[in-house]
Homo-oligomer: A and B are copies of this chain.
Amino acid sequence: MSERKPRIAVDMDEVIADPISKFIQLYNRDYGIPLDLKIHPGNEVYHHVPEHAKMKLWEYINEKGFFRDLDVMPDSVEVLRALQDKYEVFIVSAAMEFPNSLQDKHEWLADHFPFIGWQNIIFCGLKIVNVDIIIDDRIKNFKDFNGRKLLYSSPHNLLLTDYERVNNWKEVAEKLL
Seen from chain A, the residues whose Cβ lies within 8 Å of a Cβ on chain B are 4, 7, 90, 95-97, 99, 102-103, 106-107, 110, 117-126, 128-131, 144
Q: From known contacts A102-B103, A106-B99, infer whether A117 and B125 are also in contact, taking CB-CB under 8 Å.
A: yes
A99-B103, A99-B106, A130-B130 given; A123·B122 CB < 8 A: yes
A125, B129: Cβ atoms under 8 Å? no
Cβ of A129: which chain B residues have Cβ within 8 Å of it? 128-130
If over half of A's interface residues share one DSSP class (helix, strand or loop), that class is named, otherwise mixed; here it is mixed
| Among all A-B residue pairs, the 8 with the closest Cβ atoms | A119-B125, A96-B118, A102-B102, A122-B124, A128-B130, A123-B123, A130-B130, A118-B125
A147–chain B nearest beta-carbon distance, Å: 11
Which residues of chain B are within 8 angstroms of A90 by Cβ–Cβ distance?
A: 126, 128
Given contacts A99-B103, A102-B102, A129-B129, contact A123 B120 (CB under 8 A): no
Contacts of A122 in B (CB 8 A): 96, 122-125, 128
